[in-house]
Amino acid sequence: MVKRTMQNQRPISRRTFLRLSAVFTAGAGLAACGGEPPAPVAVPTVAPTEPPVAAEPTAAPAEPTSAPAADAAPTTAAESGGQPSSYNEAPMLAALVQAGSLPPVEQRLPKNPMVVDGLEGPGNYGGTLRRAYNGVSDYYGPNKVQQISLVWFKEDLSLRPDLAESWEVSEDAKTWTFKLREGLKWSDGKDLTTDDFKWYYDHVLTHETLATQANTGRGAYITGADRTLMEAEFPDKLTAIFKFADPNPLFIYQVTRGQPFVPSEHMKQFHADFADPAELEAKVKEAGFETWEQLFDDRNRPLIDNRPSTGTWIPANTFGEQLFEMVRNPYFTQVDSAGNQLPYIDKVTHLIFESPEALSSRVIAGEVDYQARHMSIGNFTLFKENENQGDYKVVLGVTAGHIAFQPNHTAKDPKLREFFQNRDVRLALSHAINRAEMNELLFNGTAEPRQYSPLKSSPQYYEKLTKSNIEYDVEKANQLLDAAGYDKKDSEGFRLWKDGSGTLSFVIEGTALPGSTDEDAVQTLVKYFAAVGVKAAYKPVERALYTQHFNANEIEAAFWGGDRTLLPLVPQQNIFLGTTLDRPWACAWGIWRNNPDDPNGEQPPADHWINKIWALWDELVTMADEQARDQKFFELLDIWAEEMPMIGILGELPQPIIVKNGLKGVRPGIPIDDPTKDEQIANNQTFYWDDPSKHGG
């Protein structure tokens, strides 16, 4: 019966097909309309009349060739605009130029700076943006605020140039060529050229002892099973050529945030091949480290110890302090179409919060200006109630996360393994869940019942998987379980193991703590399972213990959401493969694929469908043609729709974003995921205050 249902479905539904065609032919602008809540009409006050020419890459892979400029304007206005002829700068910088301590703006900007317009057009200079962070462990919060690299995402998630003026990829996707803008500068005023690329390649990436440090970023530049490092050539000061041993068509996503270059002049003082040995040793000792590699690795992080950066804002005091302050980068490389050097806002501050209560208290008092990070949906009502008092608005973004359940197909107990490996059982468990009720109970109906699958706003959205087996149907669930051989029950009505040896039961592990929305969700899930006679219990564990359990395949089932669904092809770690072990649906198999020598790993049976998933993935990551690659990925998702490896429950989860009244240029409904810098996807350099004097000048 189930089989027939599957046969009735065509591999790609008509609707999906139409949608796909739309993405690839009509242009990227349309893709964004698919899933995003209506964005405010973005009409820049200085409307670009010329179709964008200089700002567009010549050979961007994600760039549609025939996008009609007129159609694209409403959604991509933020990125367009002709090249301005003269430049303006912030008053605080103009004062420094006047005083002679800073060169004039024309000399600080590259020859053809990147032009980025805000949603609400050119803005006012000045003011401070206040945010919250969790101290040194929250390095990525402030880091994402300022991070700028070679390319970045447009609103429709295609890519636009940034520090790179253009880029090209060879047909076999093995060679990438980046053309830098001429006249790029580090935040200390030194030139940024391919010399900095070359130094990074010669003295960090290929250095015997430095290469293995955690923060060298080496993982981004290796390919293949034997982890071969790319080769690099730098024919002139503006051209960087990266050659990979294997096709690497997704490499472009590594340089949205990662940088294949370092401020070499600055970093030389920490490098044993360049620095004076005695001086370097004194520095190592003073910093409390044992080796110079540790010191180098630490000092090579942006935000740390005056390291020059390409960021929007640069540190004004020490990262980790109670109030971490960042101030505008005088050499920032972007302008708006009126020629105003970005950013508009002078300062971004991060105040430490030691407890969630202290943070909520700050939000309600109106002391947080723009923040999604650390804002829990559980506090939505609290934040909303106090909007007027705190003079802010709560807007909702969409997170990439899902409420999901992972049965471990490789559970140590052979009976449980048999149970979870049975496809009918997984379908039954999925049908046993009343997703609509859960959505109402826990999220006020703001989430969406769906399987774990790419977001609607994702270029790889795939409706077939999203909607498969999500109907609440207890009868069907019971039928499936009965037919699977689990029809005998104990005195309490719980099903017995197939061989009748006692009650079937398993433990769901997770880190959701009592009282949290997530914990409510998993407890509700346990009730739904009980209603079809499946006995499960939730056990909250400390994160380190959880890690230890999945690393040793000692986990029966897990409850740990599922994210990375905005750009599922970007990250190295992929939940769809079962190799992201904290979502342990194929724990022992995932361990084996990550490291065949690991004693806890197991090779999956040769005829198992997971091998097909892996084969598809290994093939698609080498495919240069975007459309064909996506098709391959949809094939992979077809297997997911068919086999239901893990059970998704709710998705498109809302993420509260606090926006102070008077802050302009903020886009609501943004998707929130790590590769796109969370809430910083939205060009925060174009945010501005309608009255900067009310916000710290």
Instruction: List binders of another protein among 78-107 (CB under 8 A).
Output: none
Tell which positions 483-542 bind another protein, by CB under 8 A.
542
DSSP state of 355: S
Stretch that binds another protein, among 177-185, 354-362, 413-421, 473-481 (CB under 8 A): 354-362
Instruction: Decide: is 282 part of the binding site for another protein (CB under 8 A).
Output: no
* Binding positions for another protein, 240-259, rule CB under 8 A: 257
Footprint of another protein on 114-133 (CB under 8 A): 130
Residue 125: phi and psi, rounded to 5, are -80, 145
Alpha helices in 532-586 (DSSP H): 543-551
Sites for another protein among residues 163-222 (CB under 8 A): 212-215, 217-220
The answer to whether 229 touches 206, Cβ cutoff 8 Å, is yes
- Cα separation of 125 and 687, whole Å? 10
358 binds another protein (CB under 8 A): yes
Amino acid at 350: H
Residue 487 and residue 477 in contact, taking contact as beta carbons nearer than 8 Å: no
User: Which span sits near another protein by CB under 8 A: 48-56, 168-176, 292-300, 621-629?
Assistant: 292-300
The Cα–Cα gap between 435 and 507 comes to: 21
According to DSSP, residue 204 is labeled I
The whole-angstrom separation of Cα 45 and Cα 62 is 28
Number of Cβ within a 10 Å radius of residue 410 = 25
Nearer to another protein, 107 or 317 (CB): 317
Q: Could you give the string, one character per residue 299-318, with x where binding to another protein holds by CB under 8 A and - elsewhere?
A: ------------------x-
Do the beta carbons of residue 546 and residue 509 sit within 8 Å?
A: yes
Q: Check: CB of residue 524 under 8 Å from CB of residue 442.
A: yes
Of 357, 475, 492, 607, the residue at the interface with another protein (CB under 8 A) is 357
Nearer to another protein, 191 or 542 (CB): 542
C-beta of residue 537 within 8 angstroms of C-beta of residue 525: no
Nearer to another protein, 301 or 393 (CB): 301
Q: What does the chain come to in residues? A: 697
Least distance to another protein from the beta carbon of 678, Å? 11
What mask, x for binding another protein by CB under 8 A, covers residues 558 to 577?
------------xxxx----
Q: Residue 140, interface with another protein (CB under 8 A)?
A: yes
Minimum separation from the CB atom of position 264 to another protein (A): 22
Give the count of beta carbons closer than 10 Å to the beta carbon of residue 542. 10
- From candidates 475, 499, 543, 607, binder to another protein by CB under 8 A: 543
* Contact map string, positions 389 to 408, toward another protein, x by CB under 8 A: xx------------------
387 binds another protein (CB under 8 A): no
274 binds another protein (CB under 8 A): no
By CB under 8 A, is residue 283 in contact with another protein? no
Q: Is 548 in the site for another protein (CB under 8 A)?
A: yes
Residue 452 C-beta: closest distance to another protein, Å: 17
Closest CA to 133 of 327, 358, 308, 460: 358
Furthest-apart CA atoms within the chain: distance in Å: 87
3-state secondary structure of 473: coil
Q: Name the token pair of 493.
A: 């009505």
Cα–Cα distance, 467 to 451 (Å, whole number): 6
Instruction: Give the pair of three-digit tokens for residue 80.
Output: 């367009």
CB of 610 to another protein, least distance (A): 21
The yes or no reply on residue 349 touching another protein (CB under 8 A) is yes
Pick from 87, 289, 609, 614 the residue near another protein by CB under 8 A.
289
237 is a contact residue toward another protein (CB under 8 A): no
Should residue 352 be labelled a site residue for another protein when binding is judged by CB under 8 A? yes
Pairing of strands 448-449, 557-558: unpaired
CB of 302 to another protein, least distance (A): 13
Q: Does 364 bind another protein (CB under 8 A)?
A: yes
Write the CB contacts of 202 (distance below 8 Å, at least 6 apart in sequence).
none
How many binding residues for another protein (CB under 8 A)? 59
Min dist. Cβ of residue 162 to another protein (A) = 18
Angstrom CA distances, 157 to 23, 63, 151, 675, stand at 11, 10, 12, 11
291 makes contact with another protein (CB under 8 A): yes
489-527 core/surface letters (b: 16 or more CB in 10 A; e: else):
eeeeebbbbbeeeebbebebbbbbeeeebbbbbbebbbe
Work out how close the CB of 61 gets to another protein at its nearest, in angstroms, rounded to a whole number.
20
Shortest distance, position 674 Cβ to another protein, whole Å: 6
Binding another protein (rule: CB under 8 A), the pick from 353, 419, 506, 576 is 353
Radius of gyration of the chain measured on its C-alpha atoms: 26
Nearest-angstrom CA–CA distance, 383 and 656: 9
**379 makes contact with another protein (CB under 8 A):** no
Interaction site with another protein (CB under 8 A): 130, 135-137, 140, 212-215, 217-220, 227, 257, 287-291, 293-294, 298, 317, 320-323, 325, 349, 351-355, 357-358, 361-362, 364-365, 367, 389-390, 542-545, 547-548, 570-573, 582, 595, 674-675, 696
